[in-house]
Amino acid sequence: GGPTRQRPASWPALSRPRHPVIPSSRHRSQMEDYHKPDQQTVQALANIATRLRINSIKATTAAGSGHPTSCSSVAEIMSVLFFNTMKYRPEDPKNIHNDRFVLSKGHAAPILYAVWAETGYLKESELLNLRKVDSILEGHPVPKQQFVDVATGSLGQGLGAACGMAYTGKYFDKASYRVFCLLGDGEMSEGSVWEAMSFASYYQLDNLVAVLDINRLGQSDPTPLQHHTEKYQRRCEAFGWQAVVVDGHSVEELCKVLNQPRHQPLAIIAKTIKGKGISVAEDKLGWHGKPLPREVADGVLKELQSRIVSCSKRLYPAAPCEDAPAVSLRNVRMPSAPSYKLGEKVATRKAYGMALAKLGRYNQHVIALDGDTKNSTFAELFKNEHPDRYVECYIAEQNMVSVAVGCAARDRSVVFASTFATFFTRAYDQLRMAAISESNVNLCGSHCGVSIGEDGPSQMGLEDLAMFRAIPTATVFYPSDAVSTEKAMELAANTKGLCYIRTSRPENSVIYNSSEDFHVGQAKVVNKTNDDHVTVIGAGVTLHEAMAAAEQLKKERINVRVIDPFTIKPLDSKTIIDNAKATRGRIITVEDHYYEGGLGEAVCAAVVNETGFSVHRMAVAQVPRSGKPQELLRLFGIDRDAIAQAVRKVLSTSANNK
């Protein structure tokens, strides 16, 4: 859907003071008068709200599904935001200078579409294609719609993304655009909302406005706080926000509060009625997610239509201030080859931090986030060099992922966010939504597997490969030495979609020379003779264990081919199959991860059509425990001795079978 109507150059801008005046008790009433919209404007905004209701009802009734009552409660809020408050170019929703809008309560999508029809960007008739398989107007906002930056619909995530955009606007772009986020009261029960509230006030995001639609009802029950707006106000204030309660159906009150100057993030606690304007459904349980049956809709539409008062004034959004810098994220390159020496002992987690700092040295738009683990993930090496481009997200991993997605929106930054691999599990919903958002964020999970040692199972990432492999847009890097880690970083910065880099705690030898070339989906054959008996595939610490096993077995005249996959997704099937054919289809996989969804399963899937192949998988089978790294590799059967034993067993079994 491209623009269907151009904004004529002669359209008038809304008259509004350009420089808000700091209120003082003496000048306050004068200032309020100054901001007060005239009666014509108020009427025009009310008419728009009514038309938004009408179009939300028409679209959901046509679709036979959707959430008309969730749209109705926010009609005045949307009208005022888009036709009185926000500054943007309606014919160019992705314009870098535009104010941003995030519909956190994504199920109210039909009213967002109705707004864009009201601006002229969408054809009104297109609204009736809501939720159809060939329309861009999906059930919830998705970025194929030019006016959507982040997908929403899994509740509780919009404010975190809005924080990322506001942080970017204030600290990186240093621009005037502001960020508005509309939330439902039901979703205020999500902890991730409060993680975002803390973040916004800590970083003084005075360019961020959250509008809370307090319509008293959720899906199956009233919300816990119902219409107790004063409780929301106290909670927001406790989290460091300025909080103002308004009548969410009063255009005047909304205009007034949205025009106030701000020094803090602002929460507008809008008391509303769910289903407002739909008399059968107003403030009633049992109507959530239900379109109006046609007969009901006809009556309601007639009634709403009659409320539109003829008014000559047409409203157009004000143009944005054009002060956001142009940014190019193309071709983010390392300035030089890695400078490690073969055999040098370096943990891949440390190589991550070194590579990140290096990438940032030559690329202004590389930024890093971490959740209070920066001296474990080594993101602190980046912070030390580029403090202005490091965002400490504290211990709030869900919010960190949402902030990362917000920072990456509209291609403003190349984002790397790190924490222990295992702590990304609690942000999996955010990661899944990042894929739906078509986000290009890069995530680094350190401390994978039992090889972290003494800290024990609560700190061990043993599910992360399964988790990230299941994300359709993801590329999964699992580098095994410092050189390949640095190469992975450069590739990740230039790879679309979500990138995950799995790093390890132990120090392992550098095995690649600096001029070695790496590509996504290209494995390396690390050990090879003309007469190999078994192919062993390992990654990270288990690659080094596999190489050590190969060394042991050489003394027994058993030759092992060792493969480093480099990326687990996409997996280099061709290299694996070609090399395994040279070892009569005998493959052993070994990984510091649980069996399910890891390297072994990826290899099995890659060779599923090959005849005469056998894959023996070695992985962690139980919940592990504390101990020394090498002790744990042994205890959980993924160390060099276990690999050597597995090779001998595979060879003796296949010999017996002849």
Ligand X SMILES: *[C@@H]1O[C@H](CO)[C@@H](O)[C@H](O)[C@H]1NC(C)=O
Binding residues (CB under 6 A) for ligand TPP: these are 67, 70, 73, 105, 107, 153-156, 184-187, 213, 215, 217-219, 223, 274, 288
Q: Which residues have CB under 8 Å from 193's CB, separation 6+?
A: 156, 159, 183, 187
Distance CA 631, CA 451 (A): 9
Catalytic residue among 118, 190, 253, 397: 397
* Nearest to ligand X of 105, 544 (CB atom): 544
Chain position carrying tokens 């990322």: 164
Least gap, CB of 563 to ligand X (angstroms): 11
Least gap, CB of 407 to ligand TPP (angstroms): 22
Quick check: 515 binds ligand X (CB under 6 A)? Answer: yes
Distance CA 100, CA 82 (A): 11
Q: Give the binding range for ligand X (CB under 6 A) out of 328-336, 431-439, 468-476, 603-611.
A: 603-611
Which of 40, 204, 279, 375: binder of ligand X (CB under 6 A)? 375
Which of 513, 596, 652, 653: binder of ligand X (CB under 6 A)? 513
Q: Which long-range contacts (CB under 8 A, 24 or more apart) does 619-622 make?
A: 619/589, 619/590, 619/591, 619/593, 619/594, 619/595, 620/449, 620/450, 620/462, 620/592, 620/593, 620/594, 620/595, 621/594, 621/595
Residue 149 near residue 102, CB atoms below 8 Å: yes
Quick check: 376 binds ligand X (CB under 6 A)? Answer: yes
Residue 248 interacts with, from ligand TPP, ligand X, none (CB under 5-8 Å by kind): none
Quick check: 550 binds ligand X (CB under 6 A)? Answer: yes
> In Å, what is the CA distance from 80 to each residue of 74, 211, 251, 404?
10, 12, 7, 29
With CB under 6 A, what is the number of residues at the site for ligand X? 15
Residue 364 interacts with, from ligand TPP, ligand X, none (CB under 5-8 Å by kind): none
Which of 298, 455, 551, 578: binder of ligand X (CB under 6 A)? 551
Q: What DSSP character marks residue 183?
A: E
- Phi, psi dihedrals of residue 418, rounded to the nearest 5°: -130, 150
Least gap, CB of 288 to ligand TPP (angstroms): 6
* Nearest to ligand TPP of 214, 300 (CB atom): 214
Q: Give the binding range for ligand X (CB under 6 A) out of 44-52, 281-289, 484-492, 601-609.
A: 601-609
User: Considering only CA atoms, which of 620, 612, 615, 611 is closest in space to residue 603?
Assistant: 615
Quick check: 384 binds ligand X (CB under 6 A)? Answer: no
* Nearest to ligand TPP of 63, 571 (CB atom): 63
Residue 397 known to be catalytic: yes
Least gap, CB of 236 to ligand TPP (angstroms): 16
Q: How many CB atoms lie within 10 A of CB 414?
A: 24
Helix (H, G, I), strand (E, B) or coil at 529: coil
Least gap, CB of 431 to ligand X (angstroms): 25
Distance CA 377, CA 379 (A): 5
Least gap, CB of 527 to ligand X (angstroms): 4
Residues engaged in binding ligand X (CB under 6 A)? 375-376, 511, 513, 515-516, 526-527, 547, 550-551, 554, 606, 608-609
Catalytic residue set: 397
